[in-house]
Structure 1
Amino acid sequence: MSEFLLLSRGQWDADQSPEQIQGAIDAFYGWFDEQAAAGVFKGGSRLGTGCRLVTRERVLDGPFTEAKEIIGGYWFIVADSLDEAARIAAKNPCLACGLSYEIRPLEAERASAFRAANETPMAST
């Protein structure tokens, strides 16, 4: 079994009523609690709206992303594969109201400048 990070992305559909959205939220928490009790989900959290971007030059106030790229929260899925984690996330009730989910495998290894990773610049062709 491996752990995967689930990032909640986007915003609620503008045509959904607050009651419809709350229904999806309530269904999510019920579903999440069932999955957590089964050992499929581990903790996570909603994210607040404040944000800072720290660079080598300065600290900037955010947010810095377009609405479709907003990350609203994160959770952890325990699954045998990335595909299985995606199948689990596909059952999230909030999908019906406009949110989407990015699932990323967690790397157990420490970062190394000698191994390609997300931070490694793309090679010029």
Structure 2
Amino acid sequence: MSDRNAKSEYLVLSRGQWDKSLSKEQIQTAIDSFYVWIEGMIDEGKMKHGQRLAVGGKTVGAKGVIVDGPFGESKEVIGGYWFIVAENLDEAAEYISGNPCIQCGLFFELRPLELERARAYAETNETPVEA
């Protein structure tokens, strides 16, 4: 028997950079509105706290190669992460569409959380794509 009202969690990745044509005051207004918006969403049980990411970091790869980073195009920059609690991906997208920072150049990636342990025989994000 499945629970029809079961909610799932979705990771929200904040991506992009502020629109260069906006003033710092306009951006600050969006940031202030964001904090009011997210606290309301948390109070309603629709989101969970996350964090902003600090500037800098390291990338670690095979054979212990460590590189200063992360590096990527500006559209790939991840500024922070949060969690949405929703019945499905469409509902999660509807929730995040209310984020006031969208109007200032940021966009948000939603990813369902996989609750099962990884297995080499299951198709996952890490499975190589066949040619």
Please give the range of the TM-score, normalised by the shorter of the 2 chains.
over 0.9
**2:10 aligned with 1:7:** no
| Structure 1 counterpart of 2:94, from 62, 87, 101 | 87
Indicate the SS of the match to 2:32.
helix
Amino acid at match of 1:24: A
Distance 2:110 2:45 in 1: 17
- Unmatched 5+ residue regions in structure 2? 1-6
Which consecutive aligned stretches of 4+ in structure 1 deviate over 4 angstroms post-superposition?
Answer: none
Shift of 1:62: 1.0
- Unmatched 5+ residue regions in structure 1? none
After TM superposition, the score normalised by the length of structure 2 is: 0.93
Aligned residues: 124
Q: Deviations over 1:59-110 (max 9, x none)?
A: 0001311001100000000000001000101110000000000000001000
Residue of structure 2 equivalent to 1:118: 125
**2:32 aligned with 1:26:** yes
Residue of structure 1 equivalent to 2:4: none
Distance 1:63 1:118 in 2: 19
Distance 2:105 2:49 in 1: 23
Q: Deviations over 1:8-50 (max 9, x none)?
A: 0000000000000000000000000000011111110000011
Distance 2:54 2:76 in 1: 15
**2:83 aligned with 1:76:** yes
Amino acid at match of 1:21: I
Distance 1:14 1:31 in 2: 23
Shift of 1:51: 1.2
Residue of structure 1 equivalent to 2:3: none
After TM superposition, the score normalised by the length of structure 1 is: 0.97
1:36-75 to structure 2, matched below 5 A, reads: 36-57=42-63, 58-75=65-82
